[in-house]
Structure 1
Amino acid sequence: MSEITQGEILLPALTLVGLTFIVLSQIPFRRFKAALEGKVTPKDFELGESDRVPEFAALANRNYMNLLELPVIFYFACTLHYLLESVDMKVLVLAWTYVILRILHSAIHLSYNNVMHRLIAFALSNFVLAGMWFFLISPILAVARLDS
C-alpha cells in the first residue's frame, strides 16, 4: 500500500470543480431549448428567472447555485488540510465521499428530482463535510498555539 501524499486532497476538489462546470454548461442548453420551444423569452431572465421558466431549465440553474454555496467550505477544508499537512486516509475518504454524494445529489436534481432522495444525498454530504472540519480542529489549534 502506497503512502498518501498531501496533494491527493486536491483531486476530490478538482473533481467537484469539474462537476460545477458540467452543471454550468447545462444552463444555456436548457434555456435555449426552452426558448426554441417558445416557453421563455430573454425578458424571463432579466431579474433571474421568471415563473415562466420551465422546471427542466430552472433546475440546472438551481443546482449550479447549490454547487457554489456549501462546497465553498469543502474547498476551504481541502486547502487547510493540504496547508496544515493533515491529509490522511480518513480525510481523503471523507473528501471523496463528499464529492460522490454531491455528484449523486446533482444527478438526482437534474434527472428525476425526487426531493427525498436529493435530501438524503445532501444531508449525508453535510455530515461528511462536518467530519472533514472535525479533523481540522487539532491541526488548527496546533498552529494557533504556535502563533501565540
Structure 2
Amino acid sequence: MSTLIVLGPLLAMAAITFVLMFGMVITRRRAVMEKKTDPKDLLVRGGSNPWPPQAAQFSDAYQNSLELPVLFYAVGVLTLITGHANAAFVVLSWLFVLCRAVQSYVHVTSNTRKYRSYAFRAGAIVLFFIWASLTNRLITS
C-alpha cells in the first residue's frame, strides 16, 4: 500500500490541529487587542480561565487535538513501519479523522456537549478498532 495513502489521514489530523492552533492564536490575540482579557491575568492561570468564550473554545479544542490523536499518530506510524497497512486501516483512519473534525467543529461553534461527546465516543471506538486490528495482525503474522 502506498505510503501517501497511509499517511493521508495522519496528515489530515495534523492539519486539523494546526487550524485549531491558528484559530486559538487569532481569538486570543483579538481578546487581548479588544481588551476582553487583561494580559496580567495570563501570567498565572490559577484555576480560572481568563479568555472570553470563543478563545476558550478554540483553546480547549486545540488541547483536545493533542490528547486522543496521539494514539492515532502512534498506531499510524507503527502500521506503516511494520508493513501492516491495508484498506481497513485507511478507511478506519479516515473515519477517525472525520470524527475528530466533527468534534472540533462543534467545539468551536455551537459547543453542544452532547454532539461533541457523540463525536468523541465514535472516534475513540474507531481508534480502539484500529489498534485492535494492528495488534491482531502483529500477533498472527
Partner of 2:43: 46
Distance in 2 separating the partners of 1:47 and 1:141: 48
1:30 pairs with 2:30? no
Distance in 2 separating the partners of 1:122 and 1:33: 29
Partner of 2:104: 106
Structure 1, 47-56 or 80-89: larger mean CA deviation: 47-56
Partner of 1:146: none
Q: Could you say what secondary structure the match of 2:63 adopts?
A: helix
- 8 Å CA contact 1:40, 1:52 repeated in 2: yes
Offset of residue 19 of structure 1: 0.8
Offset of residue 6 of structure 1: 4.6
Distance in 2 separating the partners of 1:47 and 1:93: 43
Q: Could you say what secondary structure the match of 1:68 adopts?
A: coil
Q: Could you say what secondary structure the match of 2:35 adopts?
A: coil
1:116 counterpart letter in structure 2? K
Offset of residue 130 of structure 1: 0.2
- 8 Å CA contact 1:101, 1:125 repeated in 2: yes
Q: Mind listing any 5+ residue stretches in structure 1 that lack a counterpart? A: 144-148
Partner of 1:70: 68
1:17 counterpart letter in structure 2? A
Q: Could you say what secondary structure the match of 2:59 adopts?
A: helix
* Equivalent of residue 16 in structure 2, options 19, 23, 32: 19
- TM-score scaled by length of structure 2: 0.91
- TM-score scaled by length of structure 1: 0.87
Distance in 2 separating the partners of 1:11 and 1:138: 23
* Equivalent of residue 128 in structure 1, options 102, 126, 129: 126
Deviating 4+ runs (over 3 angstroms): 48-52
Distance in 2 separating the partners of 1:28 and 1:92: 32
Q: Mind listing any 5+ residue stretches in structure 2 that lack a counterpart? A: none
Q: What number of residue pairs does the alignment pair up?
A: 140
CA radius of gyration, larger in: 1
Percentage identity across paired residues of the two chains: 29
